[in-house]
Chains A and B, each alone.
Chain A
Amino acid sequence: MNQESLGQIFINACLVNNFVLAYFLGICPFLGVSGKLGTATKMGGAVMFVMLISSMCAYGIHALLVAVDAEFLQLISYIVVIASTVQLVEMFIKKMSPTLFKALGIFLPLITTNCAILGLALFQTNKGYDFIQSIVYALGAGAGFTLALVLIAGFREQLEYAEVPKVIRGTILTLVIAGILSLTFMGFSGLGTQ
């Protein structure tokens, strides 16, 4: 059982060990939908929601698998739960806001293969968090993901107007910004512990 306080877990997941900038999880949507600020914010929201649900499910599944002594099924059952949650969110967004559905495009179903979400489920199991701690961890990780995505989107919107050599436009430029952001986030490392 892990004894970290809830606030500490949140700060750790959100800033110190930011999922995108320190753990490199969820890089694909990070590079793909970070072009516009509005889309990035909503994508962050969707990811955070899926994280929250799958983290709660992962807690239940882990308890169940330990009870029946079948922990080798962990990975398979986690991914099934995440895939169904994403499907649910997809249907919900399609019904509520077709424009947002279009803007997110292929990256919405691809949340399933967003390593940040599976990573979250695996890390919380490895760290032995209890139910409340898992929820806070998911919220922190989601907030951190959204923060990184929004920051990058802001930079990229501004850089649209800058004169950049053609050969480094696109992915390369985004990677360099991400590297600089990652350096900046290292400044938070004094705030928490590993």
Chain B
Amino acid sequence: MSTGTNHTETKSTDEFIKGLWNENPVFVQVLGMCPVLAVSNTAENALAMGLATAFVLLMSNTLVSLLRNFIPKEVRIASFILIIATFVTITDYAIQAISVDLHKSLGAFISLIVVNCLILSRAEAFASKNTLGKSMMDALGMGLGFLFALFCLGAVREILGNGTFFGLALFPDTFQEWIVMILPAGGFFTLALWLLIFNLIKQRKEATA
């Protein structure tokens, strides 16, 4: 799970930066894998899912941080989940109102944002212990980091599996699509590839340091 360290001494800009790279929720903490793999078959789906998750994360972190002194310790997890579920319901209906097609292609995975371990772990490990400003920055950083990771996966899978990027054809007609990339197996392979790249960068940094 996430690091339970106390960040009271750090500046709020640091909270924002750390989610993007050093503690990237997907590539470093390996949290919230299910939607990452499931809806990253096209760049557009990945972007929409990332935005929806970031929104829910921001709203729930804000509310949890505001209520952190009122929620009894014994029922905190249940309260967090209720707060998250409320915002997910709002997001679900909002997406349905904006674009029915998008809602269809994301399917049940919008509702499943509720059980994204990333959101619950930020509420538990960060927002319930920190001030409003910091919690919001943390949520923004983590949300954008999540969006970035999803987009990385979605772009690779769409380009290789479909030969397109945001629906625009990139290659001449002779391009043979790698069908496997848009299938479930491709999700696992692409994520493994990105994790490998991240690990290699980290290793090189440690070697030079």
List chain A positions with a Cβ less than 8 A from chain B.
21-28, 31, 72, 75-76, 79-80, 83, 106, 109-110, 112-115, 117-119, 122-123, 126, 167-168, 171-172, 175-176, 178-180, 182-183, 186
Chain A min CB distance to B26 (Å): 11
Bits for B122-135, please: 1 = Cβ < 8 Å to A, else 0. 00000000000000
Contact-residue bracket for chain B: 35 or more
Interface centre among B30, B34, B86, B186 (most CB of A within 10 A): B34
Bits for B17-59, please: 1 = Cβ < 8 Å to A, else 0. 0000000000000110111011000000000000000000000
- Are B85 and A21 in contact, with the CB atoms below 8 A? no
Residue of B nearest to A84 (CB): B78
CB-contacts of B74-130 with A (<8 A): 77-78, 81-82, 85-86, 88-89, 92-93, 108, 111-112, 114-117, 120
List chain B positions with a Cβ less than 8 A from chain A.
1, 30-31, 33-35, 37-38, 77-78, 81-82, 85-86, 88-89, 92-93, 108, 111-112, 114-117, 120, 180, 183-189, 191-192, 195-196, 199-200, 203
Chain B min CB distance to A88 (Å): 14
Give the CA-CA distance A26 to B85 in the complex, in Å: 18
Interface centre among B82, B120, B188 (most CB of A within 10 A): B188
Number of CB contacts from chain A to chain B under 8 A: 112
Q: Can you add 8 more A-B contacts, CB < 8 Å, to A28-B31, A110-B117, A175-B188?
A: A27-B34, A28-B33, A28-B117, A113-B120, A118-B115, A167-B196, A172-B192, A175-B192
Give the CA-CA distance A79 to B85 in the complex, in Å: 8
Residues of B within 8 A of A110 (CB): 117
- Are A72 and B184 in contact, with the CB atoms below 8 A? no
- Are B117 and A167 in contact, with the CB atoms below 8 A? no
- Are A24 and B92 in contact, with the CB atoms below 8 A? no
Residues of A within 8 A of B89 (CB): 72, 75-76
Residues of A within 8 A of B199 (CB): 167-168, 172
Listed from nearest, the 6 A-B pairs whose CB atoms lie closest are: A179-B188, A175-B192, A27-B33, A24-B38, A182-B185, A24-B37
Residues of A within 8 A of B93 (CB): 72
Residues of A within 8 A of B200 (CB): 167
Say whether, besides A118-B114, A171-B195, A24 and B185 are in contact (CB < 8 Å). no
Say whether, besides A79-B81, A115-B34, A167 and B185 are in contact (CB < 8 Å). no
Say whether, besides A27-B33, A72-B89, A123 and B115 are in contact (CB < 8 Å). no
- Are B81 and A25 in contact, with the CB atoms below 8 A? no
Say whether, besides A75-B92, A171-B30, A172-B195, A115 and B184 are in contact (CB < 8 Å). no
Residues of A within 8 A of B117 (CB): 28, 110, 113
